[in-house]
Amino acid sequence: MVNAETLSANNRREVDDPTRVTLSQLVRLKASTRAVKRPSGGRVQASLSGGNASRALGRGLDFSEVREYQAGDDVRSIDWKVTARSGKPHTKVYQEEQERPFLIAVDLRASMRFGTRVAYKSVIAARLAAMLAWVASSQRDRVGGLVFSDAGIREVKPAAGSRGVTRLLNQIVTTQDMSFDHSAPGAPAQPAWPFDDIYKHLRRSAHTGSSIVLLTDFANRSVSDDKAASQMVLHNHVVACRIYDVLEKQLPPPSTYAITDGTQRGTINTSSNTVRNAYADAFDQQRRQTQKLFSGPGNHYLECATNDPLARVASRIMKCLPGSM
């Protein structure tokens, strides 16, 4: 028989485990989204599903009418047949699409299984993804995304309501558990998936005007991946959120420290000012490069330390994306 003390200990482990998440934890985060501040704005009165006005680039998918061309209209929408018949330029008007895909890409590679504050970066990414997914679902967006690890890339097709959210959360937990199995001693080495593949998968999953949130530490990012990223950000609204631990930004105070990767042990000495400055410069250099990549119109670069309040980070991300309740 399991006594109350054992149950209490099990519950504490599920809540406090800094190395992995459970599906029940991610589902319970739905309640915490009340603390996420959403973009302000007027409610759209529309008969279509989805109540959010969109500032998305590009036009919606539903044809509305043809009217005379006005300054500022997209010349690609000119109706040449009506223009020829009337002798005056006319343009096609499209009704803005109300329900848009909201894609969340979650990094669960080996580099994300690290953290000295609160939890692993992978755990922070999973929790943040869950909060964003529940908020997007409440705004009637179709939630989907990608979950990628050293074992592969798993795509979750966007779906409306809680169905899309639960599919994504299930895939996060499944991929996480598989990643731990693959990282066990004696397990075969897994290939490192380049960001080029991640960007291409997201491009195929999203149509013009989709909202994309990328939660990753950008470890092993290469400038050769930037071409695919540039294509992705050209037609979508992308928020790239770099998840990091404070020790990745700056070395600990000067001293000698024992370190381990779980199988091997060693020591590092952080006393050299030259090494400390080079270490901090490397972090800043990656920040500048990535920030430049995601600095175009409608795109944003943010950072989230493992000890940052997640509701506040989620609010910042949602404010960067189109749509309001």
Q: Is position 55 within any domain? A: no
Query: Same domain, yes or no, for 246 and 308?
Result: yes
Residue 21 pLDDT > 50, yes or no?
A: yes
Residues 199 and 219 placed together within one structural domain of the fold: yes
Indicate the residue among 77, 95, 113 that finishes a domain.
Answer: 95
Mean pLDDT of the 105-124 span: 95
80 and 124 inside one domain = no
pLDDT over 50 at 228, yes or no: yes
Mean of pLDDT values over 162-167: 95
Asked if 54 and 96 count as a contact pair (C-beta separation under 8 A), the reply is yes
Q: Which tokens hold the place of 317? A: 């991300």
- Report the interhelical angle of 226-234 vs 273-293 (nearest 10°): 40
pLDDT score recorded for residue 94:
62
Q: Could you tell me where the DSSP H helices lie in the chain?
A: 4-16, 23-28, 80-86, 121-138, 161-182, 195-205, 226-234, 246-249, 273-293, 310-320
Return the amino acid letter for 184. A
Q: Please state, rounded to an integer, the average pLDDT across all residues of the chain.
A: 83
Q: What pTM does this model have?
A: 0.78
- Give the angle 123-125-128 at the CA atoms, nearest 5°: 105
Counted domains in the chain: 2
Q: What is residue 192's predicted lDDT score, i.e. its pLDDT? A: 60
Residue 270's pLDDT band (boundaries 50, 70, 90)? very high
Give residue-wise pLDDT tens across range 50-66: 444 444 444 444 556 78
pLDDT attached to residue 208: 79
Token duo for residue 16: 């406090």
- Report the pLDDT value the prediction gives residue 45, as an integer from 0 to 100: 37
Both 206 and 129 in one domain: the answer is yes
60-64, 71-75, 189-193: least confidently modelled range: 60-64
Q: Is residue 180 part of a domain?
A: yes
On whether both 86 and 157 belong to a single domain, the answer is no
Q: Are residues 132 and 83 in the same domain?
A: no
Handedness of CA 53, 56, 62, 63 (dihedral sign): positive
The rounded radius of gyration (Å) of the Cα atoms in the chain is 23
Say if residue 89 is in the same domain as residue 109.
no
DSSP 141: -
Contact 126, 176 (CB under 8 A): yes
Of the residues 95, 111, 140, the one at which a domain ends: 95
Residues 272 and 147 both lie in one domain: yes
Query: Could you tell me if 76 and 177 lie in one domain?
Result: no
Mean pLDDT of all residues in 294-299:
87
pLDDT at position 273 over 90: yes
Most distant CA pair in the chain, distance: 87
211 is a domain residue: yes
Of the three residues 95, 118, 136, the one that is the final residue of a domain is: 95
Domain span holding position 145: 17-41+101-320
Q: Which residues of 55-74 are buried (b: 16+ CB within 10 A; e: fewer)?
A: ebeebbeeeeebeebeeebe
Residue 290, domain member (yes or no)? yes
Identify the DSSP state of 119: S
Same domain, 81 and 149: no
Judge whether 238 lies within some domain: yes
Mean pLDDT value of segment 21-28: 96
pLDDT at 183 over 70: no
Higher pLDDT, 119 or 50: 119
Could you tell me if residue 146 is inside a domain?
yes
pLDDT value of position 100: 79
> Are 250 and 166 in the same domain?
yes
The answer to whether residue 221 sits within a structural domain is yes
Residue 285 belongs to a domain with what CATH number? 3.40.50.410
| 75 plus 164 within the same structural domain | no
Domain membership of residue 173 (yes or no) is yes
